[in-house]
């Protein structure tokens, strides 16, 4: 399959879960791929798994000033950038009363501020045409308890799909949101829950999904391939929900 042949694609947060699987699918479709991640060990593990041609860039998605370094690294290695998939995200959920300002700021930096300044830094590199995919969440559409800050950050990111498409359309840059529903990824294991509590949470999440199961990274990756490819050339400034019916049924 060669739907992305000749295209250069950057995936943030590409060391596990949806990001890693998307990198795998982009490669299978013929793209040249770069991934970012905070952990040097995680990046090396992902690079070995994906193959030696992948460019691995160590970067904290929440460091807005550091996004210029990512752009510099890419400019030194590639002639252009055809696809950006903003996938890196902070998933902290907690009751409103337990939020503190530092944790709130860190979540917003990773999920909204960092991506904004990454896109800004990459502007000179984008080809015409190009596709930007912003990873939203079904949480931006439902009133899930304890998701307040997370959902707000994703709603802000999805808003950029509209505003930046309007601003960048004359440069041939499409911006769209890709919003997962509950998905089986390592992110749930990062919530710091005991084994039984995590299992109970997974059961609760499955009950939210009308079709009775969580999604898979592969299902999200296939949707990302569509948004990255020329098949979606008429898809601009919108959101693709891959959520098992959570938002619509």
Residue with tokens 């190009």: 130
- In angstroms, the CA 117 to CA 85 distance is 14
Residue with tokens 């596990």: 16
By C-alpha distance, which of 73, 79, 67 is closest to 32? 79
Domains of the chain as residue ranges with CATH: 8-186+216-242 (3.40.50.720)
Q: Which residues lie closer than 8 Å to 24 by C-beta, 6 or more apart? A: 50, 221
What is the tens place of the pLDDT at every residue in 15-28?
Answer: 999 999 999 999 99
Query: Please, what is the average pLDDT of the chain?
Result: 95
Q: Which residues lie closer than 8 Å to 34 by C-beta, 6 or more apart? A: 8, 9, 10, 11, 14, 54, 55, 56, 57, 74, 77, 78
Q: Would you say residue 1 has pLDDT above 80?
A: no
* Percent of the chain whose pLDDT exceeds 90: 86
Q: Of these residues, 8, 85, 117, 150, which one is catalytic? A: 150
Across-strand partners of 126? 81
**Distance from chain centroid for Cα 230:** 19
What is the tens place of the pLDDT at every residue in 56-79?
Answer: 999 999 999 999 999 999 999 999
What is the tens place of the pLDDT at every residue in 151-205?
Answer: 999 999 999 999 999 999 999 999 999 999 999 887 666 665 678 877 877 788 8
- Looking at residue 238, its pLDDT comes to 98
Burial class (CB in 10 A: 0-12, 13-18, 19+), 35: buried
Would residue 150 show up in a list of annotated catalytic residues for this protein?
yes
Q: Are 106 and 125 in contact (CB under 8 A)?
A: no
By C-alpha distance, which of 47, 11, 42, 46 is closest to 26? 11
Query: What is the CA angle 111-68-9, rounded to 5?
Result: 70
- Looking at residue 67, its pLDDT comes to 98
- Looking at residue 192, its pLDDT comes to 59
What is the tens place of the pLDDT at every residue in 206-247?
Answer: 888 999 899 999 999 999 999 999 999 999 999 999 999 999
Q: Would you say residue 114 has pLDDT above 80?
A: yes
- What Å distances lie between residue 156 and 39, 108, 112, 139, 153, CA to CA? 26, 10, 7, 12, 5
DSSP for 91-120, please give it.
-----GGG--HHHHHHHHIIIIIHHHHHHH
- Looking at residue 193, its pLDDT comes to 64
How many CA within 13 A on the CB side of residue 96? 5
């Amino acid at each position: 399959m060669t739907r992305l042949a000749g295209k250069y694609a950057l995936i943030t947060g590409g060391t596990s879960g949806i990001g890693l699987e998307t990198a795998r699918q982009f490669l299978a479709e013929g793209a040249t791929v770069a991934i970012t991640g905070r952990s040097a060990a995680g990046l090396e593990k992902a690079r070995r798994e994906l193959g030696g041609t992948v460019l691995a860039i160590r970067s904290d998605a929440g460091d807005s000033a550091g996004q210029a370094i990512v752009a510099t690294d890419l400019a030194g290695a590639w002639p252009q950038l055809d696809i950006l998939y903003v996938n890196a995200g902070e998933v902290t959920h907690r009751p409103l009363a337990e939020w503190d300002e530092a944790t709130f700021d860190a979540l917003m930096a990773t999920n909204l501020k960092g991506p904004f300044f990454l896109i800004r830094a990459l502007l000179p590199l984008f080809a015409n045409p190009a596709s930007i995919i912003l990873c939203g969440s079904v949480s931006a559409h439902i009133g899930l308890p304890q998701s307040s800050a997370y959902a707000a950050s994703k709603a802000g990111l999805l808003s950029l799909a509209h505003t930046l498409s309007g601003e960048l359309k004359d440069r041939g840059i499409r911006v769209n949101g890709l919003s997962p529903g509950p998905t089986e990824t390592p992110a749930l294991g990062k919530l710091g829950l005991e084994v039984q509590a995590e299992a109970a949470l997974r059961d609760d999440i499955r009950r939210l999904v009308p079709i009775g199961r969580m999604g898979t990274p592969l299902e999200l990756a296939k949707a990302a391939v569509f948004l990255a490819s020329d098949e979606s050339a008429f898809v601009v400034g919108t959101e693709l929900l891959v959520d098992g019916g959570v938002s619509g049924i």
